[in-house]
Amino acid sequence: NHQIHLVSRPAGEAVADNFHMVRTRLPTTLADGQVLVRHHYMSLDPYMRGRMNDAKSYAAPQPLNEVMQGGTVGEVVDSKSPAFAVGDKVVGMGGWQEYQVVDAGKPGMLRKVSTEHVPLSAYLGAVGMPGVTAWYGLTQIIAPKEGQTVLVSAASGAVGSAVGQLAKVRGARAVGIAGGPQKCAYVVDELGFDACIDYRQHADLKSFSQALKQACPDGIDGVFENVGGLGLDAALQRMNAFGRIALCGMIAGYDGQPIPLQQPQLLLTHRLRLEGFIVSEHMELWPQALTELATLVGTGKLKYRETVAEGLAAAPEAFLGLLKGRNFGKQLVKLV
Ligand code: NDP
């Protein structure tokens, strides 16, 4: 069984040398209650960058010289648990490795899923943690009314793409921000957003704000923020009174750079509500969210795109690429 460990913590930008591939032996027999899962896909997510630092945060840091933690989907290949049979498709937190031995008795360790209407990989994206993140921020914080305008950054990504489509399902107007003409075209033409702004074309606040004015003629009622920086500053200028900001991520600052707000007073003058959230702290809503997401994906109403790196060894580079926007849609690593 090959694994990738975190062997050093980044000073500033994360680099490939922070990771190291090791080979471990799988146990020859399983203990009672254990299940052996062969991973088909692993998920690479921006939050992993934060956990590489040894800093106080909402989650404990990733331990050094241990397998990188993360979401996985795969197939049960051996089982000593009555709850799982060989051949079952499962979602878990198996980490950056080819196989995992998991104590299936512990709640929340492994979840059986059906691949009848939803492809296995989607359980790491649109019908998984990123999808629920989109659902939570949109429905619980922004709660758009019909006809209202919702703006979302990193709009072509795993979370952002779902935010806009869920907003459209609720009768809202969806406007995206993404990097480059290709991603913007996808967001509008394939995902059905009403408009998308290429932030690379707008290097200063005035130009960004002007672009938002054009794309959002009735102002902005809800912002789903994934990035931080100029886009958020421009959005604040264009927000309507009593708008809501779901602060989901600030990927522009994940290497440690500060991202100050240029005009925080707009929160007051526009009477805005800004709320940060962590999706894993709202487990009670996951079943409801996953049911809607699975139905929408199964019926083709929720579209998504994946960038798939091949093989475990490709994971570190693919992860670094995710932090630079080289992914286009949900970043996965395919193992089988
Ligand atoms: P994405 O699939 O959206 O991939 C990340 C995208 O972010 C890139 O494709 C890129 O898109 C954009 N990006 C990367 N670096 C920068 C940068 N320096 N400046 C601007 N844009 C950048 O990832 P996810 O959908 O998985 O995650 C989206 C956000 O949601 C992240 O901030 C993540 O941390 C957050 N998140 C928060 C959760 C929570 O519970 N609060 C849970 C899950 C995710 P582009 O090329 O368009 O710039």
Stretch 171-187: mean pLDDT: 98
Predicted model pTM? 0.97
Q: What is the pLDDT of residues 98-110, one digit of tens each?
A: 999 999 988 888 9
Stated length of the chain: 336
Q: Which atom of ligand 1 approaches the CA of 279 most closely?
A: 40
Stretch 161-178: mean pLDDT: 98
Distance 159 CA to ligand 1 centre (A): 8
Q: Does domain 2-125+304-334 have CATH number 3.20.20.30?
A: no
pLDDT over 90 at 59, yes or no: no
Q: Does domain 129-280 have CATH number 3.40.50.800?
A: no
Say if ligand 1 is within 6 A of residue 248 CB.
yes
CB atoms within 10 A of CB 3: 19
Nearest CA owner, ligand 1 atom 18: 252
* Test site for ligand 1: of 42, 159, 166, 328, most ligand atoms within 8 A of the Cβ: 159
Residue 43: helix, strand or coil by DSSP?
strand
Q: What is the pLDDT of residues 140-162, one digit of tens each?
A: 999 999 999 999 999 999 999 99
pLDDT at 325: 94
pLDDT over 90 at 277, yes or no: yes
Domain ranges in the chain are: 2-125+304-334, 129-280
Stretch 216-226: mean pLDDT: 98
Examine domains 2-125+304-334 and 129-280 and report if their fold is the same.
no
- Nearest residue to 10 via CA among 47, 54, 44: 54
Q: Average pLDDT over the chain, rounded to whole?
A: 97
Distance 161 CA to ligand 1 centre (A): 11
